[in-house]
Structure 1
Amino acid sequence: MSSEDDDPHWPARESERWTASSLWRRSRDRAREDKSSWDYVISSGVAGGIAGCVAKTSIAPLDRVKILFQTSNADFAKYAGHPMGLIHAIARIYRTSGVPGLFQGHLVTLLRIFPYAGIKYMAYDWSEAILVPTPDKRTPARFFVAGAFSGVTSVLLTYPLELIRVRLAYQTQASERTSLVQAVRSIYREAERRPPGTGTSSISALTRSIPLYPFYRGFSISLIGMVPYAGTSFLTYGTLRRHLPDYVPYLAESATARDLVCGGIAGAVSQTASYPFEVVRRRMQVGGARGGYGITWRDAVKSVYETRGMRGFFVGLTIGYLKVVPMTSIAYTTWQMMKRVLEI
């Protein structure tokens, strides 16, 4: 059995054993040498969580407008598809609610995004270390699987907070605005409003009997959409980060510029690949906001198609690009920057 004296990272002198600097050095040494160590896993999660919060805050007003467009909110439907619709929508929110209106629901977003992003980036680092242990294992399929796994894991563990955030962002009338606690209660009671006998599958009947079922409305379509989104995002970012500097020498000299460019392109590609799933998910998430009991994914797809046809599955995509490209760019850049700060 190893002892403290056998640990090369343990300070030689007794006086150094319990100082903050010595503990920090030992932790950083373990993290650099072993990606499966708790030192690396926790550091990666903290770096990812901070990156997610910084990126989400930078595009919060665009995120709220996109939700209103995706869900065909009656007060903002006339702006969707209009060349200046984004500006008009932001101006209206500002006139009626001021700056707080542009960040409505953002507190819940931050409460969700820190664990969501932390888990996502941590799971990616962990799965990449397993799937790509050596350079000869660097294949697009392995990077895609690592990205998809990280996205699915993070969604599974943080989805209820995402649903609450969407409900708060969807509210536009002063009379319908609710607090965080009221929103939680409203979602929980939607299961009680569902008429008996609705839904035909045994799986649907089973899930509806689970108390937390209303908080996972749209979860199945989220998982399906997360696979192409996260898988494509990490695959594109990782591939560009390794090869783009060979064609653009400036990016080889500046790590920040490289991460910004590669992250932005990855955001555009992943957003395009997964956007229809996101539209359907938003419809399901707000299905019970007007006092109903929610809708299934089939109802959501039918509603979108009957309202706008195939174009309906891409409504708000322009805003999606304006939101996701800088958000992903900032997220990847902050993630790498925090990893350098944490010396991993």
Structure 2
Amino acid sequence: MTPNAASKHDKQSLRYLLLSGFAGGIAGCVAKSVVAPLDRVKILFQSSNPDFNKYAGSYSGALQAGARIYREGGILGLFQGHSATLLRIYPYAAIKFMAYDQLENTLMPTPEKQTNLRRFVAGAASGVTSVLFTYPLEIIRVRMAYITRSVADGGSKPSFLHAAAQIYHETPRAPSPASTSLFHRLPLLKFYRGFSVTLTGMVPYAGTSFLTWGYLRARFIPPPPDGAPRRATPLLDLACGAASGALAQTASYPFEVVRRRMQVGGLTHPDRWMRWRETAALVYAARGWRGFYVGLGLGYLKIVPMTAVSYAVWQWIKLVLDQ
């Protein structure tokens, strides 16, 4: 490898850092746009929206829910909340992929050091880092996707600013005066509903996703002799990404269900602050252990193509940018 080529692939350089983040952000936006209608339906199912509970639990129900959304809000109804999704997903995906590139270079600088444990740790840490910085945007996006009555009743769909203002002005009853005082002094904490369970679920999700991705690429794509990054065909990248998404979704889905219920807690239980153990207990009381897997089939329909497209586009853009 020539000195110029080596500098291009130096993962510590500012150029590589920025281009890695750019590639990851674009990949995330493309992948999310592909599955946006499925995401809207899944959020309504996971959060037990009363208007859509009767459709949950089957693929035909998902189709009926999507058809109802289309009848009441048109094509834009299927993409309700997607503007907030794109505002969140670009920095989220950019930070996640950029962090993984850096952690991979630190923990696994050579093929001999590429172990499954290190792949899992690098993936989990990159996922936690990205969600730490972008979680408030996720809360707003979920609120926008959850609200259904305003459009059906002739009103307008909730805007990004309206959803943000609604969250900011909520006054949940905390379990202690000290907590109440804290929420009054730091109202931005309201944008972190369900954050603890999100972090808990992010570890198996991102860790499993990147572990599977790294393992499959190491298994089917031998490293080039000059130490350059592994290159695969787009079809192989799609296949590795699809497998990564399926396994990651299975490992983390119960946490996602609890997180969605907590994120809309200000609407379903406006009088108090829902904690994640209490939310999990409510999910179990309503449907038993199956309640933690409501919409999982729909989740596969969303996550598998989304993850496949995300990884494939990430690698393709990096190739185009000569990374």
Which of these residues, 287, 299, 314, is aligned with residue 278 of structure 2?
299
Quote the residue 2:105 is aligned against. 129
1:255-304 CA distances to partner (integer Å, 9 max, x unpaired)?
Answer: 11110000000000000000000000000000012570441112211110
Displacement of 1:240 in angstroms is 0.6
In structure 2, what is the equivalent of residue 310 of structure 1?
A: 289
Give per-residue Cα distances to partners, 1:44-69, cap 9 Å, x unaligned. 00000000000000000000000000
Distance change (3 Å), C-alpha of 1:207 and 1:272:
farther
Q: Which amino acid aligns with 2:27?
A: A
* Residue matched to 1:256: 234
| Aligned match of 2:121 | 145
Residues 121, 150 of structure 1: 8 Å contact kept = yes
Tell me the secondary structure at the aligned position of residue 186 of structure 2: coil
Structure 2 counterpart of 1:187: 167
Equivalence map 1:12-161=2 (5 Å): 30-32=7-9, 34-161=10-137
**C-alpha distance in 2 between matches for 1:206 and 1:41:** 37
Contact 1:233/1:266 (<8 A) preserved: yes
Q: What is aligned with 1:322?
A: 301
Query: Paired residue for 1:22?
Result: none
Distance verdict in 2 for CA 1:265–1:223, change over 3 Å: same
Which residue matches 1:18? none
Preserved CA contact (<8 Å) 1:30 1:39: no
Cα 1:331–1:277 change in 2 (3 A) is same
The 2-side partners of 1:116 and 1:88 are apart by 31
Quote the offset at 1:211 in angstroms: 2.3
Q: Does the 8 Å CA contact 1:199/1:205 hold for their aligned counterparts?
A: no
The amino acid that maps onto 1:35 is: K
- Tell me if the contact between 2:59 and 2:297 (Cα under 8 Å) persists in the aligned partners: no
Mark the runs of 5 or more structure 2 residues left unpaired by the alignment: 223-229
1:134 CA displacement: 1.8
Does the residue aligned with 2:265 lie in a helix, a strand or coil? Answer: coil
1:222 aligns with 2:198: yes
TM-score by length of structure 1 reads 0.85
Q: How many pairs were matched up?
A: 310
Once the two structures are TM-superposed, the CA of residue 189 in structure 1 deviates from its matched residue by 1.0
CA distance in 1, matches of 2:48, 2:307: 25
Alpha-carbon displacement from aligned partner over 1:217-259 (angstroms, at most 9, x marks no partner):
111110010000000000001101121358xxxxx99611110
Contact 2:62 2:298 in 1 (8 A): yes
1:137-157, Cα deviation, whole Å (9 max, x unpaired): 111111111000100000000
1: CA distance, partners of 2:179 / 2:107: 33
Partner residue, 2:158: 178
SS state of the match for residue 267, structure 2? coil
Q: 1:226 to 1:36 in 2, by over 3 A?
A: same
Paired residues of 1:79 and 1:89 also in contact (CA < 8 A): yes
Q: Which amino acid aligns with 1:162?
A: E
- Is 1:164 matched with 2:140? yes
* Cα distance in structure 1, aligned partners of 2:239 and 2:193: 35
Cα distance between partner residues in 1 of 2:306 and 2:179: 36
AA in 2 matched with 1:122: M
Asked whether the 8 Å contact 2:221–2:232 carries over to 1, the reply is: no
